[in-house]
């Protein structure tokens, strides 16, 4: 009997059903808990409406600006050959694993009250910039999302068949004609999806609003949930806000699933550039200027972290090192949990697809439900669930690991499920025809094709968890912290030099974790 039609073995069944049960608890379970606790009868206050309006408005502004800058940047990267192009493209991927709080410190070093730009403005007799509030939140969101938007749009350009540019060159179509006939039709298919992803990310951003926003004029829903829970201990209010946040994200998330093309993380964007247009001098100058400005905007804050953090890195207090250890343990556990869940769920989904296709599809959709939730929404739900039995403060670190694992699950699943499906389709039959037993089958036919996405997913999940400043803020007592939380506490008490040292440590650890696992997946990797 072929493997695929065999029933699940008991051990597989236990693993996959507990993975699904955990997922359902974290998504639907927390939402139902919130719903039962929320003040549904209560009218929303004027201040609540202000928070909702601010959340949507800042996200719209941030997404629009990010896309408007990303389009010319992606075009320049797609039609110019230059030394360092590959470096720029690689670094464009970096903000994805860059801890938010580190980036905020870097942005402050450039744009803050005593940053480079303000210093310059004061020298020529102007007031320094006030970065806190709406502009700061938008600036930080744009910083984070330009690279993502650029990457998504460069993918669109890369996907244009080279014949189309050759054809255009043959027919003598001008640069603007190429824009009209080739590039704009591509953008019309790529930009809506990219916009929606960024809009969604900005709606549920917490750390940026925490550090740069706040006050009645610049509070996002996520920040308001945190304040209701942590400062007012108002569970009903926190639940109500969390329900609003969940509904908003659920609508946008389901839109995004339909509109968005899958993001391509592993495959390089390096292909040979064959272009015969854009040779006029004003095109060249424009492209160079765009790339120069974008690179300065993105890399200046990062350089400032390295420069300011290098010296204090060696005089960090002991509590920082304890927090670092906490962070590493949380990151590794949550990464393995996330990928373990993704693998068990993939096995289940693939097996089901032969017998009960509808069930399999439903499982797949449920596993992306987490996209509709946010760390603070899940965190609030878990807080309410655990609060009657145990002090939430004593389980701060396990909760953080759990929620971080859930948050990186959609990424892990998007990497692992297609890889496993392909391996099954391409080599599963061959393995069956050779009569391999279950272990040999997995070891020879499936695992070699899974190693690379698994390594990458563990690395990504570990780095994301390492830099996370979300659910830990809800649960942590004053004497327990992860590295991002220590950094945030130092920044709040204006110990900026120390914070720069922690930032450098944090970003180095994130990169090292990502590198170790990603590398592990590639070692002895001879299949193509």
Question: Based on CB atoms, which residue is closest to other proteins, 183 or 222?
Answer: 183
Question: Based on CB atoms, which residue is closest to other proteins, 113 or 283?
Answer: 283
Which of 226, 277, 215 lies closest to 75, judged by CA? Answer: 277
Least Å from the CB of residue 161 to other proteins:
4
Least Å from the CB of residue 157 to other proteins:
15
Tally Cβ neighbours within 10 Å of residue 259. 14
Contact 335, 405 (CB under 8 A): yes
Least Å from the CB of residue 527 to other proteins:
21
Least Å from the CB of residue 132 to other proteins:
46
Q: How buried is residue 522: exposed, middle or buried, by Cβ count under 10 Å (0-12/13-18/19+)?
A: exposed
SS3 263: coil
H/E element, 500: helix 496-522
Least Å from the CB of residue 160 to other proteins:
9
Question: Based on CB atoms, which residue is closest to other proteins, 90 or 170?
Answer: 170
Question: Based on CB atoms, which residue is closest to other proteins, 268 or 317?
Answer: 268
Least Å from the CB of residue 151 to other proteins:
24
Least Å from the CB of residue 181 to other proteins:
5
Question: Based on CB atoms, which residue is closest to other proteins, 222 or 277?
Answer: 277
Contact 469, 207 (CB under 8 A): yes
Contact 20, 372 (CB under 8 A): no
Q: How far apart (Å, rounded) are the C-alpha atoms in residues 373 and 30?
A: 10
Tally Cβ neighbours within 10 Å of residue 368. 17
SS3 439: helix
Least Å from the CB of residue 176 to other proteins:
10
Tokens matching residue 236: 């009903």
φ, ψ for residue 41 (rounded to 5)?
-65, -30
Question: Based on CB atoms, which residue is closest to other proteins, 29 or 192?
Answer: 192
Q: How far apart (Å, rounded) are the C-alpha atoms in residues 398 and 406?
A: 12
Question: Based on CB atoms, which residue is closest to other proteins, 22 or 169?
Answer: 169
Which of 416, 413, 419, 418 lies closest to 365, judged by CA? Answer: 413
Residues that bind other proteins (CB under 8 A): 161, 163-164, 166-167, 169-174, 177, 181-182, 185, 274, 276
Question: Based on CB atoms, which residue is closest to other proteins, 60 or 186?
Answer: 186
Question: Based on CB atoms, which residue is closest to other proteins, 119 or 274?
Answer: 274
Contact 491, 211 (CB under 8 A): yes
Question: Based on CB atoms, which residue is closest to other proteins, 6 or 180?
Answer: 180
- Return the CA Rg of the chain: 24
SS3 218: strand
Least Å from the CB of residue 426 to other proteins:
22
Q: How far apart (Å, rounded) are the C-alpha atoms in residues 341 and 329?
A: 18
Tokens matching residue 230: 């942590």
DSSP lists the bridge partners of residue 60 as none
- Helix extents (H) in 424-468: 429-433, 438-440, 447-466
Least Å from the CB of residue 266 to other proteins:
23
Question: Based on CB atoms, which residue is closest to other proteins, 268 or 357?
Answer: 268
Tokens matching residue 131: 């970065």
Q: How far apart (Å, rounded) are the C-alpha atoms in residues 37 and 222?
A: 17
Contact 477, 525 (CB under 8 A): no
Least Å from the CB of residue 174 to other proteins:
7
Least Å from the CB of residue 495 to other proteins:
53
Q: How buried is residue 203: exposed, middle or buried, by Cβ count under 10 Å (0-12/13-18/19+)?
A: buried
Question: Based on CB atoms, which residue is closest to other proteins, 53 or 188?
Answer: 188
């Amino acid at each position: 009997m072929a493997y695929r039609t065999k029933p699940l073995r008991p051990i597989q069944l236990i693993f996959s059903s507990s993975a699904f049960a955990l997922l359902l608890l974290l998504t639907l379970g927390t939402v139902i808990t919130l719903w039962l606790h929320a003040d549904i009868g209560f009218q929303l206050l004027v201040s609540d409406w202000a928070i909702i309006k601010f959340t949507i408005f800042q996200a719209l502004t941030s997404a629009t600006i990010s896309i408007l800058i990303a389009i010319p940047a992606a075009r320049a990267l797609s039609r110019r050959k230059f030394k360092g192009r590959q470096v720029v493209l690689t670094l464009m991927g970096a903000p994805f694993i860059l801890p938010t709080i580190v980036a905020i410190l870097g942005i402050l070093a450039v744009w803050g009250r005593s940053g480079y730009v303000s210093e310059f403005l004061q020298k020529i007799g102007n007031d320094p910039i006030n970065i806190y509030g709406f502009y700061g939140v938008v600036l930080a969101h744009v910083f984070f999302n330009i690279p993502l938007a650029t990457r998504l749009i460069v993918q669109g350009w890369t996907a244009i068949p080279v014949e189309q540019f050759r054809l255009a060159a043959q027919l003598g179509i001008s640069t603007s004609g190429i824009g009209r006939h080739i590039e704009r039709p591509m953008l019309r298919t790529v930009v809506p999806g990219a916009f929606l992803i960024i809009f969604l990310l900005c709606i549920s951003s917490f750390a940026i609003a925490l550090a740069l926003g706040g006050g009645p004029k610049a509070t996002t829903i996520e920040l308001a949930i945190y304040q209701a829970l942590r400062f007012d201990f108002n569970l009903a209010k926190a639940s109500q806000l969390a329900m609003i946040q969940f509904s908003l994200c659920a609508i946008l998330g389901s839109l995004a699933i339909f509109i968005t093309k899958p993001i391509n993380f592993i495959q390089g964007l390096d292909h040979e550039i064959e272009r015969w247009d854009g040779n006029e001098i004003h095109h060249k100058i424009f492209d160079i200027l765009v790339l120069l400005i974008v690179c300065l905007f993105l890399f200046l804050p990062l350089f400032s972290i390295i420069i300011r953090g290098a010296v204090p890195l060696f005089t960090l207090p002991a509590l920082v090192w304890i927090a670092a250890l906490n962070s590493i343990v949380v990151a590794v556990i949550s990464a393995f949990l996330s990928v373990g869940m993704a693998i068990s769920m993939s096995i289940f989904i693939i097996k089901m697809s032969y017998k009960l296709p509808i069930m399999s599809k439903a499982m797949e959709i449920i596993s992306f439900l987490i996209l509709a939730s946010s760390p603070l929404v899940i965190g609030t739900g878990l807080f309410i669930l655990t609060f009657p039995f145990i002090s939430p403060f004593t389980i701060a670190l396990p909760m953080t690991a759990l929620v971080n694992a859930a948050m990186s699950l959609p990424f892990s699943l998007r990497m692992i499920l297609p890889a496993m499906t392909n391996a099954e389709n391409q080599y599963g039959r061959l393995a069956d025809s050779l009569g391999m037993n279950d272990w040999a089958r997995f070891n020879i036919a499936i695992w070699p094709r899974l190693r690379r996405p698994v390594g990458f997913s563990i690395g990504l999940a570990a780095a994301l968890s390492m830099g996370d400043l979300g659910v830990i803020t809800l649960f942590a007592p004053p004497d327990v912290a992860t590295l991002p939380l220590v950094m945030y506490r130092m920044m709040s008490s204006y110990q900026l030099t120390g914070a720069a040292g922690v930032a450098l440590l944090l970003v180095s650890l994130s990169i090292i974790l990502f590198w170790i696992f990603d590398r592990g997946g590639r070692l002895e990797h001879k299949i193509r």
